[in-house]
């Protein structure tokens, strides 16, 4: 057991941060919000630098991929980095897929993140999974408030079957990816809110000096930290079903609490477009319902642990 | 069959694998405990005297195997095992009803305090006895008007030649009825700022003027005491560390007290039994049952993974603060979530005294208060993360 | 305030005075240490004050009042934590006989309940005491007589009852029978549970012969059981309303006195918010409880009963958890009263259906309404 980043891990995080500071962040997120679509440019930058292929590298491994996923979310990256760096290597290790990949579970209705932008789509169907190329599905953009480009999907082609059992594998890594993304996104919302509370004076003192506010923020912090480390742990252990579900459920619960608290404690400025909070906060709502949401993660957890 | 992949590199990095040595330690320890104690044994269910007798007998066996103080330095009766082994020990002990009962405190922080600040004579005398498993201690911290506000304590120790004269009252002292020594905080300077006038005394409870009474508590009956000190004279050699600097020593070691026993592990064990109860009744396909169980399980999991931060810092020779507060908060969440799940799912059966759910309810109720209240952990965390006072 | 409310407030004042005089927690502490854990002289007083017969018809010794007044008494009992077997005897047992019994049975059994000379209870559920599990007691016809066997779990006040209404299966359908608690074959296994202010028991039936006059003649016993669950649930919700009110009072008083860090604990914002939340719980639970009491037999009775029981169950337990946290260590001592409420809340949450169960009933009711 070792909870401190190794020099390699620290170097990866540092180099990634440099790229993300330049190519992602609030300004870029605003640009994309205006333009619509996903950040293909960022995805290519990270891919070219090798940061999306850490999972299969013997020197680094899936934990490093989870760290990058978390970090990218903290920097408000708007691209399917978790799917590309954690799910794809697990089900399609040959490395012949495009960078922009979306994922859907055929049993779960509703719009799909990045489906309209995706060059390929992983379709989970029970225990199995297959990959459809862009020509094999139609994605109709859905209007949502929640920060990601989303689209409803209609499948035409059969696509290419992945190895037997890939549906289960994809689902497990998808949960780890979501957990890491939530941990990073919630951290961004939390940090921005902390700064606001320290800087904003009401009743003659900073809001952060009010005990009720402190307690709510710290309870939220504890939930985010739990989700973050459970996500890392699940990635390290290869996303076993129970651990992946536990991380995803911890993250979904943390996301719900964070979303509620950051908006409540930021007051009305939190809802304005001039302020950065919604760039992270609203994404939490999309992430916490993905892959079946709390109900789906709970079922996977209970099945994995007790059945 | 596609199984995904698993990374196997175990170099120096964030990693979540126990070493082979740690794994075999756990296996050996577990085998020993399984042989000694029935399944789901609870020392806390025993009447006090029997609990004490059985615990003393058991701890000596642990000590004989070198498993009482494995993380201590060799010169003080330890085996210099890595802190992770102490964590494993802590989990396995609580999974078997915490047979060390009060002696876990000796191991976790009373001994380390003496290692940190004791004179050679104090170390020789106390550490030998603790590491042999021959002695029970109690902790004289809280007072009627000094609970969360520990530094407001009023018990006084006045220097009189080669002695100190102690007067005051302590409450919530677990094991005071059977303890041979009290790790006492008392005020030695009433002029100084309140944290700065406190000293530590290692007081033999047999000293004339020490009187122990029961607190009539509704949870863990018989477990809590109050101790009254009336003109108790102890030699100055009973003082641990410099005069008036007791609070600094205690604050360093309170992180260990905050981590305490592996609460999350006991709670997770209870939850397994609740899940089994549900399974036996065919309830595990009900979505509200599933969500209740999963929510509680995640709370235990989060506390477990957060305690790793604390042990990691300890491995690196640090005295964890922030990580310990985070963990304590998560551990309280876990205790409560499991208790709530048990009540919600088991209904009236959860109300029967000394049922698993009833025991868990007691742990959950005291979890947020004993050893520094939940709110105090949040206050301390906020001081670090939001840079605030109070 | 209508005439109805003036009457209710008078009743409240007299009930509070009676319970303050006769059942302060100093006395409660003695009563719970007795073998049976109830105060029979207080029960006699309750009869004299007309509490027991309040909602029973005049023809069987009651005063024909409404649940509006009964609600007041139940709230005051909950506030005082009074160990009175009133819900078991009046609401459940007498309720069952009034709903399902014939004239002879009512005349024979109810006057004793109304005047307090008899205490009765209802054993309506299976071994776990839950309304959503199968019954574990059954009746069979043997040599021309009806024989009861099996078990009924977590029956309130069975240990002091002279008779009980038992739900048992008769073939595939449930039936209700009146059983003499001292009849041969009835064994009452007392339970040690968290709540010391009320007693529960498992009741075992070993070939108990049921005289035919003791079979409650109802075409649909399940319907009656469901109605009894609703009434007992609302009665418990009202008991909880009274308890919640007192929890707010004693918690606010304590944090207003206790000092730490040189100031009143109640001046810390986190504690203030705890207290504010307690008040919100108390006030909202009261609205739900009283609305349910006033809705009995009306069009929205089923709905309000489910709301009141589920809402009070969750808020009372959560409020007492917060309250104990506000008290800190002394909250666990016998010296303070708060733990009595915490434990009473725990039992109330589970008796006669958990919050989850009542929410399921609510969903079913709302769904059937939209279907109509």
- The domain defined by B262-385 folds into Butyryl-CoA Dehydrogenase, subunit A; domain 3 (1.20.140)
CA distance C346 to chain A (A): 25
Q: What is the DSSP string of B325-357?
A: HHHHHHHHHHHHHHHHHHHHHHGGGGGBTTSHH
Judge contact between B188 and B159, C-beta under 8 A. Answer: yes
- Domain positions in chain A: 167-306
- Asked if B316 lies within 8 A of A4 by C-beta distance, the reply is yes
- Asked if A215 lies within 8 A of C272 by C-beta distance, the reply is no
pLDDT in tens, B333-351: 999 999 999 999 998 899 8
- Asked if B368 lies within 8 A of C130 by C-beta distance, the reply is no
The verdict on A219 touching C (C-beta cutoff 8 Å) is: no
The confidence score (pLDDT) of residue A80 equals 97
Judge contact between A90 and A244, C-beta under 8 A. Answer: no
The confidence score (pLDDT) of residue C222 equals 95
Average pLDDT over residues A42-66: 93
The confidence score (pLDDT) of residue B8 equals 41
In order along its 372 residues, chain C shows pLDDT tens digits of 455 788 899 999 999 999 999 999 999 999 999 999 999 999 999 999 999 999 999 999 999 999 999 999 999 999 999 999 999 999 999 999 999 999 999 999 999 999 999 999 999 999 999 999 999 999 999 998 999 999 999 999 999 999 999 999 999 999 999 999 999 999 999 999 989 999 999 999 999 999 999 999 777 899 999 999 999 999 999 999 999 999 999 999 999 999 988 899 999 999 999 999 999 999 999 999 999 999 998 999 999 999 999 999 999 999 999 999 999 888 888 889 999 999 999 999 999 999 999 999 999 999 998 876
The confidence score (pLDDT) of residue C6 equals 86
End-to-end Cα distance, chain A: 29
Judge contact between C15 and C42, C-beta under 8 A. Answer: no
Indicate the CATH number for domain B20-135.
Answer: 1.10.540.10
CA distance A164 to chain B (A): 5
Between A and B, how many CB-CB pairs are < 8 A? 193
- E-strand ranges in chain A read 101-105, 112-113, 120-125, 128-133, 137-142, 150-155, 160-161, 201-202, 205-206
- Asked if A221 lies within 8 A of B381 by C-beta distance, the reply is yes
- Asked if C273 lies within 8 A of A210 by C-beta distance, the reply is no
Interface residue ranges in chain C relative to chain B, Cβ cutoff 8 Å = 128-130, 153-154, 191-195, 200, 259-262, 268, 270-271, 317, 321, 324-325, 328-329, 331-335, 339, 342-343, 346-347, 349-351, 354-356
The verdict on C264 touching A (C-beta cutoff 8 Å) is: no
The verdict on B195 touching C (C-beta cutoff 8 Å) is: no
Chain C residues touching B217 at Cβ < 8 A: 332-334
**A112, A115, A120, A126: CA torsion to nearest 10:** 20
pLDDT in tens, B282-296: 999 999 999 999 999
The confidence score (pLDDT) of residue A119 equals 96
Chain C residues touching A212 at Cβ < 8 A: 269-270, 272-273
The confidence score (pLDDT) of residue B355 equals 85
- Asked if B218 lies within 8 A of C329 by C-beta distance, the reply is no
The confidence score (pLDDT) of residue A22 equals 96
- Asked if A210 lies within 8 A of C272 by C-beta distance, the reply is no
Q: Which chains touch A (3 or more CB pairs under 8 A)?
A: B, C
CA distance A10 to chain B (A): 9
Q: Nearest Cα to B328, choosing from B257, B244, B233, B253?
A: B257
The verdict on A260 touching C (C-beta cutoff 8 Å) is: no
The verdict on A135 touching C (C-beta cutoff 8 Å) is: no
Q: Which residue of C has its CA nearest to B148?
A: C260
Indicate the CATH number for domain B139-245.
Answer: 2.40.110.10
For C120-219, which CATH class?
mainly beta
The verdict on A202 touching C (C-beta cutoff 8 Å) is: no
Q: Which residue of B has its CA nearest to A6?
A: B13
Average pLDDT over residues B340-369: 90
Judge contact between C87 and C235, C-beta under 8 A. Answer: yes
- Asked if B172 lies within 8 A of C194 by C-beta distance, the reply is no
- Asked if C268 lies within 8 A of A210 by C-beta distance, the reply is no
pLDDT in tens, A206-241: 999 999 999 999 999 999 999 999 999 999 999 999
In the predicted structure, residue B301 carries a pLDDT above the cut 60? yes
Q: What residue spans in chain C does CATH classification 1.20.140.10 cover?
A: 222-371
CA distance A213 to chain C (A): 8
- Asked if C354 lies within 8 A of B219 by C-beta distance, the reply is no
Which uninterrupted H or E stretch holds A223?
Answer: helix A211-236
- Asked if A214 lies within 8 A of B11 by C-beta distance, the reply is no
Chain C residues touching A210 at Cβ < 8 A: 269
- Asked if A215 lies within 8 A of B375 by C-beta distance, the reply is yes
Among B3, B8, B16, the residue to mutate for chain A (most A Cβ within 10 A): B16
For domain C3-114, which CATH number applies: 3.90.950.10, 1.10.540.10, 3.40.50.300, 1.10.10.10?
A: 1.10.540.10
The confidence score (pLDDT) of residue B147 equals 85
The verdict on A215 touching C (C-beta cutoff 8 Å) is: yes
The confidence score (pLDDT) of residue B13 equals 66
Q: What is the DSSP string of B189-232?
A: -SSS-TTTTEEEEEEETTSTTEEEEE--BSSSTTS-EEEEEEEE
In the predicted structure, residue B4 carries a pLDDT above the cut 50? no
Residues 6+ apart with CB under 8 A from A177: A66, A69, A82, A83, A85, A86, A87
- pLDDT grade, residue B181 (50/70/90)? very high
Of C129, C268, C329, nearest to B369 by CB-CB distance is C329
Chain A residues touching B316 at Cβ < 8 A: 4
- pLDDT grade, residue B193 (50/70/90)? confident
Residues 6+ apart with CB under 8 A from B133: B56, B59, B60, B62, B63, B68, B103
Chain C residues touching B288 at Cβ < 8 A: 356
In the predicted structure, residue B278 carries a pLDDT above the cut 90? yes
The verdict on A58 touching C (C-beta cutoff 8 Å) is: no
Lowest mean pLDDT across A64-73, B10-19, C293-302, C312-321? B10-19
The confidence score (pLDDT) of residue B192 equals 86
Please give the Cα distance from B73 to C250 (Å, whole number).
51
Please give the Cα distance from A210 to B379 (Å, whole number).
10
Judge contact between A101 and A80, C-beta under 8 A. Answer: yes
In the predicted structure, residue B82 carries a pLDDT above the cut 80? no
CA distance A254 to chain B (A): 11
Of B14, B302, B390, nearest to A2 by CB-CB distance is B14
Residue that the structure tokens 């002091």 belong to? C160
Chain B residues touching A297 at Cβ < 8 A: 294
Judge contact between A17 and A128, C-beta under 8 A. Answer: no
Chain A residues touching B306 at Cβ < 8 A: 222, 225-226, 229
ipTM for the predicted complex comes to: 0.96
What are the backbone angles phi and psi of residue B157, rounded to the nearest 5°? -130, 115
Please give the Cα distance from A84 to A43 (Å, whole number).
9
pLDDT in tens, A159-208: 999 999 999 999 999 999 999 999 999 999 999 999 999 999 999 999 99
- Asked if A210 lies within 8 A of C269 by C-beta distance, the reply is yes
The confidence score (pLDDT) of residue B257 equals 66
The verdict on C273 touching A (C-beta cutoff 8 Å) is: yes
The verdict on A22 touching C (C-beta cutoff 8 Å) is: no
CA distance A210 to chain C (A): 7
Q: Nearest Cα to C175, choosing from C128, C230, C142, C222?
A: C222
pLDDT in tens, C61-81: 999 999 999 999 999 999 999
Residue that the structure tokens 């549970």 belong to? C193
The verdict on B219 touching C (C-beta cutoff 8 Å) is: yes
Q: What residue spans in chain C does CATH classification 1.10.540.10 cover?
A: 3-114
Please give the Cα distance from C57 to B57 (Å, whole number).
67
In the predicted structure, residue A154 carries a pLDDT above the cut 90? yes
Judge contact between B179 and B138, C-beta under 8 A. Answer: yes
Q: Which residue of B has its CA nearest to C317?
A: B340
Q: Which chains touch B (3 or more CB pairs under 8 A)?
A: A, C
Among B214, B218, B224, the residue to mutate for chain C (most C Cβ within 10 A): B218
Q: Which residue of C has its CA nearest to A215?
A: C270
Average pLDDT over residues B121-147: 93
Indicate the CATH number for domain A167-306.
Answer: 1.20.140.10
The confidence score (pLDDT) of residue C319 equals 97
- What the block records as the tokens of C301 is 């009775």
Please give the Cα distance from B235 to B294 (Å, whole number).
55
The confidence score (pLDDT) of residue C372 equals 63
Residue, of B7 and A155, whose pLDDT is higher: A155
In the predicted structure, residue B187 carries a pLDDT above the cut 90? yes
Indicate the CATH number for domain C222-371.
Answer: 1.20.140.10
The confidence score (pLDDT) of residue B258 equals 67
Chain B residues touching A214 at Cβ < 8 A: 378-379, 382, 386, 388, 390
- Asked if B302 lies within 8 A of A226 by C-beta distance, the reply is yes
Judge contact between C47 and C89, C-beta under 8 A. Answer: no
In the predicted structure, residue B5 carries a pLDDT above the cut 70? no
Three-state DSSP at B239 gives: strand
Residue A43 CA to its chain's centroid (Å): 14
CA distance C55 to chain A (A): 45
- What the block records as the tokens of B100 is 């060390």
The confidence score (pLDDT) of residue B389 equals 56
- Asked if A215 lies within 8 A of B382 by C-beta distance, the reply is yes
CA angle A183, A185, A188 (to 5 degrees): 110
């Amino acid at each position: 057991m070792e909870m401190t980043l190794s020099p390699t891990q620290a170097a990866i995080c540092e180099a990634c941060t440099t790229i993300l500071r330049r190519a992602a962040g609030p300004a870029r997120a605003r640009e994309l919000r205006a333009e619509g679509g996903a950040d293909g440019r960022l995805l290519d930058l990270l891919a070219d630098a090798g940061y999306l292929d850490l999972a299969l590298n013997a020197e680094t491994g899936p934990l490093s991929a989870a760290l990058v996923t978390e970090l990218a979310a903290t920097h408000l990256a708007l691209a399917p980095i978790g799917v590309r760096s954690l799910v794809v290597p697990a089900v399609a290790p040959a490395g012949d897929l495009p960078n922009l990949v979306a994922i859907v579970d055929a049993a779960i209705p509703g719009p799909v993140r990045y489906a309209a932008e995706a060059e390929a789509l992983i379709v989970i169907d029970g225990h199995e999974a297959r990959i459809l190329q862009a020509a094999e599905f139609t994605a109709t953009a859905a209007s949502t408030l929640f920060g990601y480009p989303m689209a409803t999907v209609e499948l035409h082609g059969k696509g290419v079957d992945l190895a037997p059992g890939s549906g289960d594998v994809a689902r497990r890594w998808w949960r780890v990816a979501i957990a890491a993304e939530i941990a990073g996104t919630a951290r961004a919302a939390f940090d921005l809110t902390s700064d606001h509370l320290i800087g904003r004076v009401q009743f003659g003192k900073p809001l952060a000096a009010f005990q009720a506010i402190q307690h709510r923020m710290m309870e939220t912090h504890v939930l985010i930290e739990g989700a973050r480390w459970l996500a890392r742990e699940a990635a390290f252990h290869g996303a076993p079903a129970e651990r992946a579900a536990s991380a995803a459920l911890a993250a979904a619960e943390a996301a719900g609490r964070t979303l509620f608290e950051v908006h409540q404690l930021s007051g009305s400025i939190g809802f304005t477009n001039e302020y950065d909070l919604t760039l992270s906060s609203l994404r939490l709502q999309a992430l916490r319902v993905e892959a079946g949401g709390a109900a789906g993660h709970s079922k996977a957890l209970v099945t994995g642990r007790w059945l | 069959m596609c199984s995904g992949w698993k990374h196997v590199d175990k170099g120096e990095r964030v990693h979540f694998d126990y070493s082979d040595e740690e794994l075999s330690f756990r296996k050996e320890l577990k085998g020993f405990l399984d042989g000694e104690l029935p399944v789901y044994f609870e020392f806390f269910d025993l009447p006090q005297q029997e609990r004490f007798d059985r615990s003393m007998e058991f701890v000596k066996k642990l000590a004989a195997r070198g498993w009482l103080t494995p993380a201590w330095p060799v010169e003080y009766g330890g085996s210099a095992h890595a802190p992770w082994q102490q964590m494993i020990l802590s989990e396995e002990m609580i999974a078997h009803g915490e047979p060390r009962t009060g002696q876990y405190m000796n191991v976790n922080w009373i001994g380390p305090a003496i290692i940190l600040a004791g004179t050679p004579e104090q170390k020789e005398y106390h550490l030998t006895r603790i590491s042999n498993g021959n002695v029970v201690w109690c902790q004289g911290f809280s007072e009627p008007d000094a609970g969360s506000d520990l530094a407001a304590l009023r018990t006084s120790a006045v220097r009189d030649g080669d002695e100190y004269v102690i007067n005051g009252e302590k409450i919530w002292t677990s094991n005071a009825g059977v303890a041979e020594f009290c790790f006492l905080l008392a005020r030695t300077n009433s002029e100084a700022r309140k944290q700065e006038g406190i000293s530590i005394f290692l007081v033999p409870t047999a000293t004339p003027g020490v009187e122990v009474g029961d607190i009539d508590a509704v949870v863990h009956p018989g477990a809590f005491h109050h101790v009254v000190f009336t003109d108790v004279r102890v030699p100055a050699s009973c003082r641990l560390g410099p005069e008036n600097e007791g609070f600094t020593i205690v604050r360093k070691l309170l992180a260990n007290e905050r981590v305490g026993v592996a609460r999350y592990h006991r709670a997770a064990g209870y939850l397994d039994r609740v899940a089994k109860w549900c399974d036996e009744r065919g309830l595990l396909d009900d979505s509200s049952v599933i969500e209740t169980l999963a929510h509680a399980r995640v709370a235990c999991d989060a506390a477990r993974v957060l305690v790793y931060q604390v042990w990691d810092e300890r491995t690196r020779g640090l005295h964890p603060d922030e990580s310990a507060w985070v963990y304590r908060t998560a551990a309280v969440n876990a205790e409560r979530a499991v208790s709530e799940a048990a009540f919600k799912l088991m209904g009236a059966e959860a109300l029967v005294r000394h049922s698993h759910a009833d025991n868990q309810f007691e742990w959950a109720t005291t979890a947020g208060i004993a050893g520094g209240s939940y709110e105090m952990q949040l206050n301390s965390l906020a001081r670090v993360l939001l840079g605030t006072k109070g | 305030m209508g005439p109805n409310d003036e009457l209710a407030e008078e009743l409240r004042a007299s009930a509070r005075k009676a319970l303050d005089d006769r059942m302060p927690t100093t006395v409660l502490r003695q009563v719970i240490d007795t073998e049976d854990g109830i105060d029979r002289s207080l029960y006699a007083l309750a009869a004299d004050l007309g509490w027991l017969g309040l909602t029973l018809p005049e023809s069987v010794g009651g005063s024909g009042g409404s649940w509006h007044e009964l609600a007041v008494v139940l709230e005051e009992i909950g506030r005082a934590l009074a160990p009175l077997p009133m819900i078991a005897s009046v609401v459940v047992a007498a309720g069952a006989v009034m709903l399902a019994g014939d004239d002879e049975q009512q005349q024979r059994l109810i006057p004793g309940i109304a005047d307090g000379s008899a205490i009765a209870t209802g054993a309506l559920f299976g071994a776990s005491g839950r309304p959503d599990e199968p019954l574990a007691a059954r009746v069979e016809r043997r040599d021309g007589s009806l024989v009861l066997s099996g078990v009924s779990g977590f029956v309130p006040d069975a240990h002091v009852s002279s008779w009980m209404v038992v739900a048992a299966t008769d073939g595939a359908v449930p039936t209700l029978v009146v059983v003499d608690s001292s009849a041969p074959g009835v064994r009452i296994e007392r339970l040690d549970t968290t709540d010391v202010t009320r007693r529960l028991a498992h009741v075992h039936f070993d070939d108990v012969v049921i005289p035919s006059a003791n079979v409650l003649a109802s075409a649909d016993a399940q319907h009656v059981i469901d109605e009894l669950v609703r009434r007992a649930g609302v009665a418990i919700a009202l008991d909880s309303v009274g308890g919640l009110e007192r929890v707010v009072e004693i918690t606010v008083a304590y944090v207003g006195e206790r000092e730490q860090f040189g100031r009143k604990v109640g001046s810390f914002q986190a504690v203030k918010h705890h207290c504010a939340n307690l008040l919100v719980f108390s006030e909202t639970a009261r609205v739900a409880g009283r609305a349910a009491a006033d809705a009995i037999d009306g069009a929205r009775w089923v709905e309000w009963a489910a709301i009141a029981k589920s809402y009070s169950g969750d808020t009372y337990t959560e409020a007492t958890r917060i309250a104990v946290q506000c008290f800190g260590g002394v909250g666990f001592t016998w010296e303070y009263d708060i733990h009595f409420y915490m434990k009473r809340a725990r039992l109330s949450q589970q008796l006669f259906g958990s919050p989850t169960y009542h929410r399921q009933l609510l969903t079913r009711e709302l769904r059937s309404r939209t279907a109509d």
